[in-house]
């Protein structure tokens, strides 16, 4: 374990200068004994240590974790109860049910339009559902269903991809939710997660214990990228290039470098039985800094062009822009950049996080709207 940590720290130190966000905490859903539990969501420090039982109530075969940072809330999809449950993201305390999904919710992701997209496992039509972030149902998004759907992602032009565990396939939908047919139907036995990174689609295969790569534009097979897994489910890409994958063979999250080399178990402890979702959350969202500015440091707060207050340039060395889901969008030097233009960003809520020379931080919420 010490060797793995040293390798990970080395990777962190080699990360590019633009990746200046705080190291992310790791959240893992534990499906326990599937239908019977015990179930929990476990939080790990950025180095994979100090496991904390973050959520332990109102769970039923948990599948995925989505943070709603603007509300200090976190959502968990539960397959066996058909519920998406909502918790206080600071304490992990249950708040209420967000939604009920008849087909059993599996993967969830917030789309570029600000809606929550939810997959169904066992409904008769298995269509992708869509919800407003206040829980209001927006109906079925796709025109057709994908049986036992359990992996979801978009490409850079808005096409949606959904994996079928039972079918061993990946189905493609256009940016209006209209099906264009099966995109991938080879080299997969029981796919779970599908994730697109830098033009490559990474697909975890539960049945065959591997991570397979495909060309995201054509669907053509590239290679069996990682073959040392046992029933993998849950994948996250760390900003430093490390790939984290939930592995039932070791009851942990395992680390791999960008070439697929096995770095061993990344998480230490947690008493997990069946890890099946791996989610990264930047440390900036875990607490509110006591030194936060009491006034806006960019203006206006709504629009597509935001002017940086000159006081920020004098007192803060870095300005980071995050999406509502916590993804780092851009990093700016306020002494050199005085206006941030968001014309190429999707409409919605964003966070601007300023960091001073001594590490103090201030956060401001803005809305990008054309």
CATH of 2-285, one of 2.120.10.30, 3.40.50.1460, 3.40.50.1110, 1.10.10.10: 2.120.10.30
Q: Can you read off the two tokens belonging to residue 289?
A: 């800094």
Same CATH fold assignment for domains 2-285 and 298-368: no
Q: Can you read off the two tokens belonging to residue 7?
A: 């390798």
Choose among 186, 192, 227: nearest CA to 206: 192
CA separation for the pair 250, 232 (Å, rounded): 10
* Contact residues for 158 (Cβ-Cβ < 8 A; gap 6+): 112, 174, 175
pTM over 0.85? The answer is no
- Domain range list for the chain: 2-285, 298-368
For the CA atoms of 74, 79, 84, 86, what is the dihedral angle to 10 degrees?
A: -40
* pLDDT mean for each 10 residues of the chain (370 residues): 41 36 86 94 95 97 93 94 95 96 96 93 92 95 97 96 98 97 98 97 98 98 98 94 96 97 95 97 64 64 88 81 82 90 86 80 82
Of all residues in the chain, what percent are helix, strand and coil, respectively (each to 5)? 5, 50, 45
The CATH number given to 298-368 is: 2.60.40.10
Please count the residues of the chain.
370
Choose among 226, 223, 153, 208: nearest CA to 183: 153
pLDDT the model gives residue 7: 43
């Amino acid at each position: 374990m010490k060797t793995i940590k040293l390798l990970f720290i080395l990777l962190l130190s080699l990360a590019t200068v633009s990746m200046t966000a705080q190291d992310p905490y790791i959240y893992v859903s534990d499906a326990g004994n599937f239908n019977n539990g015990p179930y929990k969501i476990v939080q790990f420090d950025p180095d994979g240590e100090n496991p904390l039982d973050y959520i332990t109530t109102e769970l039923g075969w948990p599948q995925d974790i989505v943070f709603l940072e603007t509300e200090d809330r976190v959502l968990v999809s539960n397959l066996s109860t058909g519920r998406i449950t909502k918790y206080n993201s600071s304490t992990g305390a249950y708040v209420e049910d967000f939604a009920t999904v008849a087909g059993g919710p599996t993967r969830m992701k917030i789309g570029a339009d600000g809606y929550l997209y939810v997959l169904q496992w066992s409904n008769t039509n298995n269509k992708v559902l869509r919800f407003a972030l206040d829980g209001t149902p927006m109906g079925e998004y796709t025109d057709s269903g994908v049986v036992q759907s359990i992996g979801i992602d978009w490409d850079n032009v808005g096409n949606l991809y959904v994996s079928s565990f039972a079918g061993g396939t990946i189905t493609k939908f256009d940016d209006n939710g209209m099906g264009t047919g099966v995109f991938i139907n080879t080299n997969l036995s029981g796919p779970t997660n599908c994730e697109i990174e830098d033009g490559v689609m990474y697909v975890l295969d539960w049945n065959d214990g591997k991570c397979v790569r495909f060309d995201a534009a054509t669907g053509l097979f590239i290679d069996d990228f990682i073959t040392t897994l046992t029933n993998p489910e849950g994948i996250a890409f760390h900003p430093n290039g490390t790939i984290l994958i939930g592995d039932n063979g070791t009851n942990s999250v395992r680390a791999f470098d960008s070439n697929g080399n096995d770095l061993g178990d990344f998480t230490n402890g947690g008493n997990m039985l069946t890890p099946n979702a791996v989610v990264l959350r930047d440390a900036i969202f875990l607490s509110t800094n006591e030194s936060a500015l009491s006034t806006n440091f960019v203006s206006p707060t709504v629009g597509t062009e935001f002017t940086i207050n000159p006081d920020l340039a004098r007192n803060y060395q870095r300005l980071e822009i995050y999406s509502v889901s916590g993804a780092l969008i851009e990093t700016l030097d306020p002494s050199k950049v005085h206006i941030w233009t968001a014309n190429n960003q999707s409409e919605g809520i964003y966070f601007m996080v300023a960091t001073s020379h001594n590490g103090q931080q201030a956060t401001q919420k803005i809305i990008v709207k054309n």
